[in-house]
Each structure stands twice: as structure tokens, then as C-alpha cells.
């Protein structure tokens, strides 16, 4: 019969503990790497989508500057812009940076005074989304490479056979409003609330631009953050001003989403960075607490909406912001029902 001394047993126990610890570390690191790879893949898909939308807007700009007037210089500029937009849509990953940077240069040469205000806003919004998506993607790539290139990770092949993600660099305009690529009248940060009732319906407000009262649209509750005010405080204040509901700031979950929008409103071109909270309440009839003068002119109604209601409003020609809110509502409802802190993600 084989017997072991106490020292031998202790050594074996220590070795077993080390092996288990290494195994647990390797398992958790491999899982984390997998999540980072998924994140970098998703961020690239979002960037690819933003670049595709910019190409569509660039083609619309080309058609606008060509116009009915026969100007050889403008005609050549329009042809080049349209050609680059086509190439950007077809380019593979290897040459995508080069083509997209050429498209950026071509867009920088456009005299936006020739464009109608709505197209100016569309172009600014498309460029802003590209820049935001690129930053999100490069952040994801940085975090993935930081872990993937560590020596223990490489020695144990914890990254598997997945290819290393790569950065995407695109030129940002060197103009007075480099954050959007176009001059804007107002830049603001907004706090918004996805207010859900017991049936997972969201409260939306109906409104219009005072300059175009015939065109209505729908939006979530919220507005600009005042100087010295926190996001939560602004969200709670806007909620009371627009609906009369008083909420505890700590009851809000989030921010859950981040949206950058560039749009014309009341004669100005506005760039807004919107951060969304979610809050579940019992359904009630909104009674505004303290609307501003502009809100009294622009807010015309409200409705508790299901995803089907939102889709119907979009089909009727009354746009709902943010886009695809009907598809986003289940995510908001899940976060409202959970207890973990959500991770902010970019939406349209």
C-alpha cells in the first residue's frame, strides 16, 4: 500500500489548486475574448451600415449639385461624387479605407449653400454617424487587441483561429464644426426617457417643426440638459414638464442608448447627442407640468404606443424617433425589468 507524507499531500494540493486556478483563468479569459470579438464584429457591422448610408446621401448630393443648370465644373464634381459613392458601396475591406477617404475629400469640396436645408441635415447626420461608429469600432478593436496580444493568451492560444480585428481610419473634416462635418447653429446634449407602462407600451409625444407645421412626427419624452444639470436630473425635469409625472431620479435605468442626430428645427440646424433612460410606470394621462413657449407651439399630442402602433405611424408618413423604436422596445423592456447596469450602445 502506497502512503504519502503530509508534505507530499500539501504539494499535490498546491499543484492541483494552481492547475484549477489557471484553468479557471483560461476559461474566463477565453469567454471574455469571445465577447470582445463579437463586440468588434458588431461594431464593424454598425460602421459598415453608417458608411453605406453616407454613400446613399452622397449620391443624393451629387444629383442635387448637378441640377438642371449645365455647369461643366459642377457636372464633373457630381460625376466624381457619384462614382466614389458607388465604389465605396462595392469596395472590399482591404481597399475600403482608401475609397471612403476619397469620398470624404469629395464631400468636403461640396458647397453646401447649393443644397436644400433638409439635404444639408441628412449629410451632416450621415457624417456624424460615421464618425461615431468609427470611434466605437476602433474602441472595440483596441480592447480586443489589448487582451489578444498578451503573452499568456498567445501561449495558450486562447484566441483560437479568429482573425485579429483591424482599426478603420477615416479622415475627419478640419472645419469649424469638425464634430459633424458641417456648420450647425446649436450643439446640445439631451436626456430622453423611454417611458413604459404595464403593457410595455411607450409614451410618445406628437409634434412638428414650427416652420413646417403640416409635417408631424413622434418622439420620446426629453430635451436639452441645462448648464450644471446632470443627465438624470434633466430626464426627470423633462418628464415632469412634458407629462406632469414626478419620478425618482434613481428609478431611471440607464443611459441605455446613445443617438447623434443632426436636424433642422425652427430655422436652425441642430446637432443633438441624445442619451436615453428607461422607466416603467403605471399608465396615466399626461398633463404637462411646465411646457416652454416653443414646446407649446410644437407639441400637439401624445399616445401610449405598442410596437405595432409605431410601425403603423411610420407607414402613415409620420416618422417616429428614434428610428426602429418598435424593434428597440423589447430591449428597453428587458432592461427595465432587470437589475444589472446596462451598457450604453449607439442607435439611430
pLDDT digits (tens, 9 = 90+) for 244-262: 999 999 999 988 988 877 7
Residues 64 and 204 in one domain: no
Residues 218 and 126 in one domain: no
Number of structural domains, the chain? 2
* Average pLDDT value for the chain: 84
pLDDT digits (tens, 9 = 90+) for 124-174: 778 877 877 888 888 888 888 888 777 887 787 777 777 888 888 776 544
Q: Considering the entire predicted model, what is its pTM? A: 0.55
Residues 196 and 86 in one domain: no
pLDDT digits (tens, 9 = 90+) for 10-56: 888 888 888 888 888 788 778 888 888 888 888 889 889 989 999 99
pLDDT digits (tens, 9 = 90+) for 190-233: 899 999 999 999 999 999 988 888 889 999 999 988 888 888 99
> Domain of 253?
186-346
CB 261 within 8 A of CB 274: yes
pLDDT digits (tens, 9 = 90+) for 83-121: 999 999 998 887 888 888 888 888 888 877 777 777 877
For residue 305, give every residue at least 6 positions away whose Cβ sits within 8 Å of its Cβ, in sequence order, or none.
Answer: 201, 202, 203, 204, 218, 313
Residues 24 and 132 in one domain: yes
Residues 226 and 286 in one domain: yes
306 belongs to a structural domain:
yes
119 belongs to a structural domain:
yes
79 belongs to a structural domain:
yes
Distance (Å) of CA 111 to CA 19, 119, 167, 273: 66, 12, 31, 26
Angle between helices 307-315 and 325-337 (to 10 degrees): 160
6 belongs to a structural domain:
no
Residues 109 and 214 in one domain: no
| Range scoring the smallest mean pLDDT among 72-76, 176-180, 232-236, 266-270 | 176-180
CATH of the domain at 311: 3.90.79.10
179 belongs to a structural domain:
no
Residues 120 and 194 in one domain: no
Residues 240 and 333 in one domain: yes
CATH of the domain at 95: 1.20.1440.20
Amino acid at each position: 500500500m502506497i502512503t504519502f507524507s503530509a508534505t507530499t499531500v500539501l504539494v499535490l494540493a498546491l499543484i492541483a489548486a494552481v492547475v484549477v486556478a489557471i484553468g479557471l483563468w483560461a476559461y474566463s479569459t477565453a469567454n471574455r475574448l469571445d465577447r470582445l470579438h463579437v463586440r468588434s464584429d458588431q461594431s464593424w457591422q454598425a460602421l459598415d451600415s453608417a458608411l453605406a448610408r453616407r454613400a446613399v446621401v452622397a449620391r443624393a448630393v451629387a444629383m442635387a449639385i448637378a441640377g438642371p443648370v449645365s455647369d461643366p465644373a459642377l457636372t464633373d464634381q457630381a460625376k466624381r461624387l457619384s462614382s466614389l459613392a458607388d465604389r465605396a458601396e462595392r469596395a472590399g475591406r482591404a481597399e475600403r479605407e482608401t475609397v471612403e477617404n476619397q469620398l470624404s475629400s469629395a464631400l468636403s469640396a461640396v458647397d453646401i449653400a447649393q443644397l436644400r436645408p433638409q439635404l444639408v441635415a441628412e449629410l451632416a447626420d450621415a457624417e456624424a454617424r460615421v464618425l461615431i461608429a468609427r470611434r466605437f469600432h476602433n474602441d472595440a478593436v483596441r480592447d480586443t487587441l489589448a487582451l489578444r496580444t498578451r503573452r499568456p493568451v498567445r501561449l495558450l492560444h486562447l484566441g483560437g483561429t479568429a482573425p485579429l480585428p483591424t482599426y478603420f481610419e477615416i479622415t475627419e473634416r478640419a472645419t469649424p464644426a469638425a464634430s459633424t462635418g458641417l456648420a450647425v447653429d446649436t450643439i446640445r446634449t439631451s436626456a430622453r426617457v423611454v417611458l413604459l407602462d404595464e403593457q410595455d407600451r411607450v409614451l410618445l409625444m406628437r409634434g412638428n417643426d414650427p416652420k413646417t407645421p403640416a409635417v408631424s412626427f413622434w418622439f420620446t419624452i426629453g430635451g436639452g440638459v441645462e448648464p450644471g444639470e446632470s443627465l438624470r436630473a434633466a430626464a426627470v425635469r423633462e418628464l415632469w414638464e412634458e407629462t406632469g409625472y414626478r419620478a425618482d431620479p434613481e428609478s431611471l435605468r440607464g443611459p441605455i442608448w446613445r443617438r447623434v442626430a443632426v436636424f433642422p428645427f425652427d430655422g436652425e440646424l441642430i446637432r443633438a447627442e441624445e442619451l436615453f433612460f428607461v422607466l416603467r410606470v403605471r399608465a396615466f394621462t399626461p398633463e404637462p407640468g411646465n411646457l416652454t413657449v416653443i414646446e407649446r407651439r410644437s407639441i400637439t399630442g401624445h399616445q401610449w404606443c405598442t410596437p405595432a402602433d409605431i410601425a403603423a405611424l411610420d407607414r402613415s408618413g409620420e416618422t417616429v424617433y428614434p428610428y426602429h423604436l418598435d424593434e428597440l422596445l423589447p430591449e428597453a423592456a428587458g432592461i427595465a425589468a432587470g437589475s444589472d447596469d446596462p451598457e450604453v450602445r449607439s442607435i439611430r
